[in-house]
Structure 1
Amino acid sequence: MVITEHEKIFDYSSMSTSDFLVINGVEFSVGEMSNGMSYHIIAIDIPADFKLKNDKCTQSAIDQILSAGGEAIIAHPYWYGMNFLDLLRLKNYIGIEVLNWGCEGDIGGGRGISSVYWDEILSNGRRVYGFAVDDVHYYTYDVAGGWIMVKAPNLTKEDIMEAIRRGEFYSSSGPKVSNLEVSERKIRLECDGARFISFVTIPTLGKRIDMGDDKPLTYCEVDISKDLFFGGKPRGYIRIELEDEKGKRCWLNPIFLT
């Protein structure tokens, strides 16, 4: 768990146990987007005594977070009305919130999913990850609606953060992925049941597989060149997104091809 209060950092390390890990975090309001509103930047794995030296420059804030050993995530792009240039003008952030559950719910008005922003960044050659988060403010509808599943050998801050930095996690609001195999030619995926599975890539290409005979998909396999690139040379990226029968979604991090 990462707890990210606005503008305040607390040391939560004493809350961690052998089977429960808490990592320090914070949400900063910095700089200015094209619509006149400030960026919201999530800092994770940040020292409790970290002080932001300049809240006028968003890139400077990201650079300071990284210099302190943390990672920066761009919060709720869709809910905050960003345009793509607002994201492309920044660099060195590890990812964006592909799902902000609070913004998807009552107060957010259904503006919590930012997958289109993610694809625009990826299509422009950036290597960034997608994060699903709660953004809890009211402790009602906004709790336990978005999370990441991390592939790490141990439940330690060091192993979890190392895996996150490698992109070895997926984001979800419900569905679970049990296995992913990627070879030069094929992608194989196993999950706990999906209404559809989408293989999203550069514009005009890719593929969506829908369940048949009212039986949810638990396995699928695609030929990368034939199925996703119409027989052409694979390039850019591939990311996998699936939805279950309850409308809950799961986002895997991109497979970078070039």
Structure 2
Amino acid sequence: MVTLFEEGKRFYKGNLHMHTTNTDGRLSPQDAVQRYADAGYDFICITDHWKRTTVPDYSGSMLVLPGIEVDYFLASQVIHIVGINVDESILDTVDRKWGPQRGIDAILAAGGLAVLAHPMWSLNTTETICSFKRLTAAEIFNSVSRPPWNGDRADATGLLDMAAANGTVLNTIAVDDAHFYNGDECHSFIRLQADELTPAAVMDALKRGAYYATQGPELIQVSFDGDTVSVDCAPAKRILFHSNRPYAADRCWEGEGITHATYKVRRDWCESFVRVIVEDKNGLRAWANPIVVPYE
């Protein structure tokens, strides 16, 4: 039996993509940190463009990780990579001229984790996504990549399904990518199970995929017994099961306040992964990390 979460273990709330006045954000590092602390977040990562921002004078209980966002321009798309919890060496080892894969590798060499940022906003193709190596996750929802701040390309579920169908199954996070702090902040986040609220524990949980992405709906457990995926959640309106096959029975469960659903994997249809999505009555979603279907 595969279970995504440890029973009884605490979830911490965090945002892993945001900007400050060190680059193109509207709030100072201190004010941005305080905005999330006041909203009840347990941890954040400041990811200014090509800069590593720290807030040494912050003395609150929220964990603040130093990060970076690097970007690269291709003919028909842009590539943005977020580095989580990088050390100072990152500033000497990333350069736009070297391309995105070397950016990923530089983030890892600086002790960080690399995340593909807003792939739908960036118009990334499945071929591009599948070409990257050693990504920790991709952003399945990016709050600022929608009106009134952008066109409507915040949700990358379909694109990441296509990448998974082509062999690149990535864990997923939901983030704000806050710039304006007039509604693009404190909306999309992850709930992460860690042994304690320290950089090392958070990084370990991210590596293990011990979290889920959400805009508010709560997942209790997602499990897989080898044949059937089961979901338990807080009361929801809809529970969805995505895979690499366009149609399958029981892919969509709907009801008033439903808290449980199951989906039997179709190996005869060569299903290779299952992604669970929970939607509440307000249309807000939670996404579990995808389950890879084994074949023996």
TM-score using structure 1 length: 0.88
Q: Is the 8 A contact 2:130 2:167 kept in 1?
A: no
Matched, 1:175 2:217: yes
Question: Deviation per CA, 1:91-121, whole angstroms, max 9, x where unpaired?
Answer: 2111211100011231122210011121122
Which of 161, 170, 183 is 1:141 aligned to? 183
Matched AA of 2:127: L
Cα drift, residue 16 of structure 1:
6.4
1:42-81 maps to which residues of 2 (within 5 A)?
42-51=82-91, 52-56=93-97, 57-81=99-123
- Corresponding position of 2:262: 221
Please give the alpha-carbon distance, in whole angstroms, between the structure 1 residues aligned to 2:133 and 2:82. 14
Q: Cα offset for 1:13?
A: 6.2
8 A Cα contact 2:242 2:275, kept in partner? yes
2:253 aligned partner: 210
| Cα displacement (A) at 1:83 | 2.1
* Cα displacement string for residues 127-157 of structure 1 (whole angstroms, at most 9, x for unaligned residues): 3111100011111110111100111121111
State whether structure 2 residue 127 is matched by structure 1 residue 85: yes
Alpha-carbon displacement from aligned partner over 1:51-80 (angstroms, at most 9, x marks no partner) = 234312111111111122211111111112
- The alignment status of 1:2 with 2:45, answered yes or no, reads yes
Instruction: Using the TM superposition, give the Cα deviation of residue 167 of structure 1 relative to its aligned residue in structure 2, in angstroms.
Output: 1.0
User: In structure 2, do the counterparts of structure 1 residues 218 and 140 end up closer, same or farther at CA, with 3 Å as the change threshold?
Assistant: same
d(CA) in 2 for partners of 1:16, 1:90: 38
**Per-residue deviation at 1:179?**
2.3
Give the distance between the partners of 2:90 and 2:102, measured in 1 at CA: 14
What is the RMSD computed on CA atoms of the aligned residues? 2.0
> Larger relative CO (CA 8 A, sep 6+): 1 or 2?
2
Q: Deviations over 1:33-61 (max 9, x none)?
A: 341x5421111010134223431211111
1:205 deviation in Å?
4.4
Match of 1:114 among 135, 156, 160: 156
1:21 equivalent to 2:56? Answer no
| 3-state SS of 1:6 partner | coil
Match of 2:37 in 1: none
In structure 1, distance between residues paired with 2:45 and 2:94: 23
Alpha-carbon distance change, 122 to 13 in structure 1, aligned in 2, over 3 angstroms: farther
- Equivalent pairs counted in the alignment come to 248
Contact 1:15 1:21 in 2 (8 A): no
SS of structure 2 residue aligned to 1:69: coil
Conserved? CA contact 1:147–1:173, under 8 Å: yes
Cα separation, 1, equivalents of 2:252 and 2:285: 15
Aligned-pair distance for 1:86?
2.2
**Residue 286 (structure 2) aligns with:** 250
Q: 1:41 is matched with which residue?
A: 81
Relative distance call for 1:121 and 1:13 in structure 2 (3 A) is farther
Structure 1's unaligned 5+ residue stretches are none
Structure 2 unaligned spans of 5+: 1-43
Q: TM-score, normalised to structure 2's length? A: 0.77
Q: Return structure 1 stretches of 4+ with deviation > 3 angstroms.
A: 12-17
